[in-house]
Amino acid sequence: MSDDGQALVEFALVLPFLLLFAVALVLIAEIGVARLALENAAAEGARIGALTNDDDEISRTVRAAVEPLEQGRVRVTVEPREHERPRSADPRGSLLRVALEYAVPVPLAFAGLPRVTVRGAAVRVIEWTP
């Protein structure tokens, strides 16, 4: 008996696992980048919100700050909303929370892999006065 094709057969058996490991590594790296980008964008949005008390300005700042991510996939939530108390009266000293969500595109999602949602949030004290 000859061992001529043994290495090729072993490589063919191991290759799917190596490819799966490489895809998982790339996905984990993408989740990490998304987490960092969302945390930074939330902090920038909360900072702008604390200074301007303007939800539109917060959204523009967040969309500009999430640069490596697809802006259309980022959901921005500002609490409390611009025309709710305490932001509608004299908001100085109250808390402003900016929360972001991003659905990371998962390769092979059609194969039943779960959707991955990354979140980032920041809270700041409002310094703006009417």
Of 82, 89, 91, 96, nearest to 128 by C-alpha is 91
Residue 99 predicted with pLDDT over 60:
yes
Residue-wise pLDDT for 23-60, tens only, equals 889 889 999 999 999 999 999 999 999 999 899 999 99
**What token pair was written down for 32?**
């990490």
Residue 1 predicted with pLDDT over 60:
no
Question: Which is more confidently placed, 5 or 49?
Answer: 49
- As beta bridge partners, residue 99 has 77, 121
Residues 20 and 130: their CA atoms lie apart, in Å, by 56
- Which residues touch 129 (CB under 8 Å, ≥6 apart)? 90, 91, 92
Of 10, 29, 7, 28, nearest to 18 by C-alpha is 10
